Amino acid sequence: MKPTAYVFDAYGTLFDVHSAVRRHAGDLGPQGQQLSQIWRTKQLEYSWIASLSGSYRDLWELTKDALDYAFAKVPSADPALRNALLDAYWQLDCYPEVPTVLKTLKDSGARIAILSNGSHDMLGAAIRSAAIEPLFDAVFSADDVHCFKTDHRVYELVTTHWRCYPEAVLFQSSNRWDIAGATNFGFNTVWINRTKEPDEYPQHPPRLILPSLEGLLTTS
């Protein structure tokens, strides 16, 4: 069945979460990549713990805490760069194919949306920075239900708003755990496996695995 709606995760799927650190790579030195990886890993971990424990705080607060942990873990990185890195996170680079893919899908008549753990403020800033704001019919934030993916209430934001069945949605994410959660909810899913990672959740398989979003234009 051809999807009537294409829904995209934001961070890691549309926007490169490591671009904030790359902008300051010269100042951070050789440990910058390690800092970026720890920052992202802790950000995700904090979101899962927040949902499981019922102690929700929005993703921006968790992002700041995760960066503080990363600096503590990588003492060679200068913590004076904290504010610069946080500012850069509001204007993450989008992946090169994103504008063309979104415009082509929208021109075909499909509905286009974001479904993200990010707050509306974070997502709005990233979308405006990438100049892709007109391409979205909706932006769904986990902040609206005060829990994070993979809680079904987050995915349900889409089906409730558009009054559609889960199987009418094609959901794209680079995060395999997110794909597992969305598959379990009932979405048709596409894992954007940019870095050729092994499959962690074979019990919740995606409909497709693609190396980038460009494959959406040649695959139905």
Q: Which residues are catalytic?
A: 9
Distance CA 220, CA 81 (A): 44
Residue 157's Cβ-side half-sphere holds a number of Cα atoms within 13 Å equal to 25
Beta strand extents in the chain (DSSP E only): 5-8, 111-116, 138-141, 169-173, 188-192, 208-210
Q: Which two tokens stand for residue 180?
A: 């597992």
Contacts of 57 (CB under 8 A, 6+ apart): 50
Element (H, E) at 123: helix 120-129
- The amino acid at 133: E
Q: Report which of 203, 201, 210, 197 is spatially closest to residue 171, judged by C-alpha positions.
A: 210
Determine contact, residues 159/127, Cβ cutoff 8 Å.
no
| Cα distances (Å, whole numbers) of residue 2 to 135, 155, 164, 172, 175 | 20, 19, 14, 15, 23
- The amino acid at 197: E
